[in-house]
Structure 1
Amino acid sequence: MPSAILSRWKRFIDRYVKGFHSIAVQLYLLFFISILIPVLIGGYLSYQKSARMIEEQVSHVATLTIKQVRDNLDFVFKRLDDTSMRLFSSPLIQEALEGSGSSEPFEQYKLNYDAKQFLYQIIMNMPEIMDIYILDVNRENSVISSSIQSLTDPWETEWYRRIVEADGRTVWFGLSNISYLKGVDMGIPVFGVGRTVKEVETGRIIGVMFIEVRGKVLTDTLGEMRFGRTGYTYLVDEGNRFAYHGDASLYGQRSALQLPGQTEVLEVEGRQQMVIPAELGNGWKVTGIVPLEELVAGTVEIRDLTVWIALGSGVVALIMGYYVAQRIGRPLVHLSQLMHRGETGDLTVRSPIQGRNEIGRLSRSFNKMIARIQQLIERIAEEESEKKKAEIRALRYQINPHFLYNTLNTIRWMAKLQRTDDVAAMISTLVHILESSLERTGPIVTLGEELQLLEKYMIIQQYRYNNGVTLSVQCPQELSGLTMPRMLLQPVVENAIFHGIAPRDDKGSVGITVYRQGEDAVIVIEDDGVGIPAEKLPYLLGGAGGSRTGGMTRIGLSHVHQTLQLYYGSDYGVTVESREGTGTRVQLTFPIRQKEDAYVQSSAG
C-alpha cells in the first residue's frame, strides 16, 4: 500500500516536472512574469518619481506665482512712489506750502488753488488714488485734495508722526478699514504712502505728504490668489504686521509667523505647510501658504491607481498567459498579417517575434527581406528624382539659348549703330541675368527675386524695342517671400513681347498680377498683343502637334508648364487664354511655400 502511494506521487511529480519542459507552459509562465513583474516595478518607480515631480512642480508653480504677484505689486508701489516724488519735487507744491510772501490773501489763495488743481490732475490720471493731503508743518498753507473734513487732527495722528520720523524716506501703511485721512470707515479698505516735503535749498521739512489709495489694488491682486482648497496669500510690512490678509480683522496686527529667507516647510496653524516668501521693493513681503497634504494629494491618487493597475495586470497576465499557451500558432498569424501589410506597400512593418526556433528564424528573414525591399525602392526613388531634375535642367537649357540669341542679336545691331553706352549697359544687364541662371543658390528662388530678375530682363527689352513695351507688376508684399522654380516668368514675358506685342505697329504692355487662392499662389501674365489663333491653343503646352505649332512660343510655355508639374504634381501648371487681336492671358498656379521645401515628384513617391 505505501509503495503504491509513493509510486503514484512519483508519477505525479514526474508529470509535473515534464510539464515545465513544455513550450506551452514556458510561454505561459514567461508571459505571466514578463507582464506582472515590469508592471509592479514600473508602477512603484513611477509612483515615486511622479510623487516627487508633482511636489516639485506644484512648489515651482506656486513660487513662480508668488514672484509674479510680487512683480505686479512692485509695479503698483513703484508707480505710487514715483507720484510721491513728483509731488515732492514740484515747485508749485513748494511755493504753496511756503506761502506767497505777500500780504495779499488772494496771492496765497491763488497758489493753493493751483496746487489743488495739480493734485486733482494726478488723481484723475490715477483713479486708484482717493485723496492726497500735503500738510504744512506750520498748519497754515496745507494743500488738501478733499473737501470732506477729517474727524481727527491730522497733525496729531500716528501716520503723521511716523512720516516725520522717517525724515524724507517713503513710509508705507497697510490696508485699513478706517480711512487714515478722514478717520472714519469709508466702506472700502484703504492703504497709503507718505513722505516729508523739504525745502530744496535748506533741506528743512516744510510739509508732510500722504497719499491714500483704494485697497482694491491689493485685494484684487491677492484676494483671488489661492493655493489648493485652503492655501492663501498675505502681505506683511517691515514690522511683520499684516498689510493684507484674507481676514480683514487682522489688518495691522502682528503676524505670529517669522518668515524664512526662502521657501521652507514649517508648522503653521498646527499643520505642515509650505511657506513661500518674496520681498517687495518697499520692504514688504508677500507670502504664499500651501498645505503640504494638499501639495502631495495627487500622489495618493497615483499610488492607488498603481495598485489597481498591478492587480488588473495580474489578472490579465493569468488570462493571456493561458490563452497564448493554448494558441501557439498566434505568432504565425501575426507574421502573416505583417506580410500582408508589406504586400500592400507598408514597408515600415517589422516583426517583433524573437527566438531560436523556426518562428524566430522566419521572423528575422521577413525583417531582412522588408528592409532590403525598402532600400531598393528608396534607391529607385532617388534615381527617378535625379532623372526628373535632369529633365527640368534640359527644359531650361532649351530656353536659355533662344533668349541669348535674341539678346546678342540686339546688341549686334546696336553696335553697328555705334550706340556704345547702350551696348555697355545692355551687356552689363545680360551678365546679371546669366549669372542668376547659373543656379549658384539652387534651383529655387523667391518670387521677389524672380521679379527683380524680370526687371533686369525688361531693361534689355526696352533697348530692343525702343521703350515700346511697358511692364506693370502687382504683387502683395506678403507673397513676395514664397518660393518657386528659377526662371519661370522670363520665358512667358518674352513670348508675350516677341509673339504678341512685337508684330504690332504701336506700343504694347505686359501686366503681371499675383494673388492668393486658398493654399495656392496664382500669377497671371497678360498682354495686349495680337493674340494666338484658336486652333494653336491646344498645342502650346506640349500636346499633339509637335514643334510646328508655335515654335519657341510652345517651347517656352511648355517649359514652364512641365517645370511646375515636375516640382508640384499634375494639379498645378499653366493655363492659356487668348483671342486674336485682343491679347493673351497666361496663368501659373503652384502651392504657397515660404521656405525652400519644394520637391520633385517621382514615380516612387
Structure 2
Amino acid sequence: MIKWLKRLLFEKVSTKLIAMVLSLILLSATFISMTYYGSSVSIIGSHVRASTKQGAKQTADYLSLMLTVGTDMGQQIFRNTRLQEVLNQERQGHLTVDQQFEIKDSVGQTLNNTIYSSSFVRSIYILRENGESWGSGLFNASKVKRYTLSGHEWYSDVVSDKANELWLPLGYDPFSGGGDDTELVLTLVDAFRNLKTKQTEGVILVNLDGQLILDAVQRIQLGKSGTWRVVDPTGQVLISSDSEQWGRPLADAGLAERLASQNEEIAEFQTKLNGEEDYVVSVRMANGWRLVGQVPVKEIIGDIVSLQRRVTMYTAMFLLVALLVGLMFSTRITHPLKELTRQMKAIENNNFKARSRIRSRDEIGRLSLRFNQMAGQIETLIREVEEAGTRKREAEIRALRHQINPHFLYNTLSSIRWMIKLGQTDNAYKGIAALVELMESSMGKASVFTTIRQELELLDKYMVIQRFRYGEGLSLETSAEEETLDFEIPRMLLQPLAENAIFHGLAPRDGQGIIRLDVRRQVHPPAVRIAVADDGAGIEPERLATLLRGEAEENRTGMLGIGLHHVQETIRLYYGPGSGVDIRSEAGRGTIVTLTLAPKEE
C-alpha cells in the first residue's frame, strides 16, 4: 500500500498534473477570496464607521444642547429677582406663617414657570441646610429633611465654593414624589448665592430628563450588542444604559487612558477587552465630556464572515470539479507520452517498424507524427544502405543517423518526462516545442545540402535541447560573415562537432562552458573556413594523433571518432582539393576543430 502511494505521488505524471491544477485553482480561489474579503471588510467597515460617527456626532450635539439648557436654567434661577427678594425677606426675620406659605407658593410658581420653558428639564430644586427648601412639580420637602445635605460631597463642595457647579451621574431623583426611585434624571448642582451679601445660601438642582437622554443615546445603532456611555475627562461614567456603571470609573483602565489622551473631536480605534477585539468611537461634547461607543469588531463584519464561508464552500466544489477535469486532462497528456516512450525503446532495440498512434494535433501529436516520419525514413534509408552500399549513401545514412539518433530522441523525451514529473511543465513544453522544431527543420527538405544560415538555426535548436540536460551554463556563440550565410554545406555537418564539444569537452566539466563557432571566407585559395572551439577538457595527445591520421574505423566506440569520421567522409565526398579537417587541442584548455570547404572544380 505504501509503495503504491509513493508511486502514485512521485512517479505518476497524472498525479502531478492534477496536483498542479488543483494547486493553481486553490491558490487563485484563496487569493480572490482573501482579496474580496479584505476589500469588503474595508468598504463595509468604512461605511459602518462613517454612519456611526455621524450618528454619534448628532447625539453628542443634542446632549451638549441639553447640558447648555440645564446650565442656563441654573443661572436663570440664581439671578431671579423674586428669589433674591425672598432671601432678603428671610434675612430680616420675623416672618409670619402666612408669609412663609406665600413665599413657598411664590417660589414654587416661579420654578414651575421656569421648567415649562424647556422640555429637557423635569424639575428644579433649591436646597438649603439652614432654611426652607423649595422645588417645582412633585418636590417632596419631607424627603429633604431625611438628608444631611452637608454630608454629601456635591453639596459641601458647591456651598464651600470648591466648585462653582458640577454634574451628578445619571440617577433617580431622591426628592421627588411619594416613593423612591420614581424619576430618572441627570442633575446639575449650581450654587445659590445672595447677590447682595455674596454668601452661598444653598444649591440649585436642575434635573434634566434622564429617560430622554437615555433614549437619545440608545438610538445610535452600533452592531447588535454595541454600548454607548458618556464619560467625563476623569473616566467616570455619567450616562449609560447599564445602571450599575453610573458614577463608576470605566472598567477598562487602558480605554480610559486612551480616551483621556484623545485631542480630536471625533476619534476611532480598536482595543482588546477580555481577549476580544473591540471597535471604539469617541465624540467630544461641548463641555469636554465624551460620548463613547464600543462594539466587538466581529459584529461589524459578521455578514462578510458568513459570505466568506460560502465562498470557501464554493471553492471546495470547484476543486472537486477540477479534480475530475484534471484526471481527464492528465490522461490525455500522459497516455500519448507513454506510448511514444514505448516506441522510442523499440527504435532503440532496432525495431524500425515501430510507429506511434497519433491522438491529437497538439505538440505531442505533432511529435508523434514526426517520430513516425523519422522511423519511416530510418527504415527506408537503412534498406537503401543495405541495397546500395555506395559511399555517398553511406555518408547520407550516417548524417541521418546523427540527425535523428534514437538515443538523442530517447534521452530528450526522458528529460521532458522528468521535467513533467518534477512539475516543470513550462520547461517541458519548451523542450517539446524545440524538439518538434528541430525535427521539422531537419526533415523539412529532401535535399542533402542546406545553407550555413539554416544550419546555424538548426544548431540553435539543438543547443536549446542540450541546455535542458546540462543547464544554462552551456552556451553557443556564433560569428559569421554575412556573405558566407548563403553558402551551401551538407546537412548536419556542424551538429556532430557541437555534440563532440559538449560530450567530450564540456560534459566532463558538468556541462558548463562555451562553444564558439566562427565562419569566414578565405580568399586565396577560395574557400570557407568554419572553426568550432570549446573551453572544455581537451583531447589526450595520443588520441589526437590518431584522429589527425584519420584512423577512425567504423566499429570504433565513442561518439568522438564516429562524429569526426562522418565529417571527414562528408568533406571528402562533396568538396575539392584543399578541403579537410584540422584539430588542435590542449588538455585542460579546450579544442578547436577547423573545417576548410573548397568548392570542387567543374
Q: For this structure pair, what is the TM-score category when the shorter chain's length is used for normalisation?
A: 0.3 to 0.5
TM-score (norm 1): 0.42
Q: Which has the larger radius of gyration?
A: 2
TM-score (norm 2): 0.42
